Amino acid sequence: GAGVSQSPSNKVTEKGKDVELRCDPISGHTALYWYRQSLGQGLEFLIYFQGNSAPDKSGLPSDRFSAERTGGSVSTLTIQRTQQEDSAVYLCASSLASNSHEAFFGQGTRLTVV
């Protein structure tokens, strides 16, 4: 596709349910990032993929959070047993391999846990 695509754009879920957030990066981009943006907050790094590998998972807030990437393309961020504090906008970005390159961002998924 022309840009980074994230789905769904909005998700409302009940506390305790599991959710899956999807990211389709730009074709050919080997690096993929997940960030979380809470209301009035900056961008919190969650996880980084290079190809299908995740060299850095240090930002995942708890073991309820996991992510995978298959075929060096699509990535899924899964949040198990959602809590209200998980409510935020989850942003995905992709870039060419080197960290000197521009990261292209999707529009984000707005997650609301009620």
Partner 1 sequence: AQSVTQLGSHVSVSEGALVLLRCNYSSSVPPYLFWYVQYPNQGLQLLLKYTTGATLVKGINGFEAEFKKSETSFHLTKPSAHMSDAAEYFCAVSEKGKTSYDKVIFGPGTSLSVIP
Q: Which residues make up the interface to partner 1 (CB under 8 A)?
A: 4, 31, 33, 35, 41-43, 45, 48, 50, 55-56, 59, 91, 93, 97-100, 102-103, 105-108
Closest distance to partner 1 from the beta carbon of 3 (Å): 9
Alpha-carbon 16 to chain mean position: 20
CB atoms within 10 A of CB 9: 12
Looking at the Cβ atoms of 32 and 79, the one nearer to partner 1 is 32
Looking at the Cβ atoms of 74 and 103, the one nearer to partner 1 is 103
Find out whether the peptide bond into 8 is cis, omega within 30 degrees of 0: yes
User: What kind and span of H or E run contains 35?
Assistant: strand 31-37
For the record, the structure tokens of 103 come out as 């990261």
For the record, the structure tokens of 55 come out as 């060299």
Looking at the Cβ atoms of 26 and 82, the one nearer to partner 1 is 26
Closest distance to partner 1 from the beta carbon of 15 (Å): 26
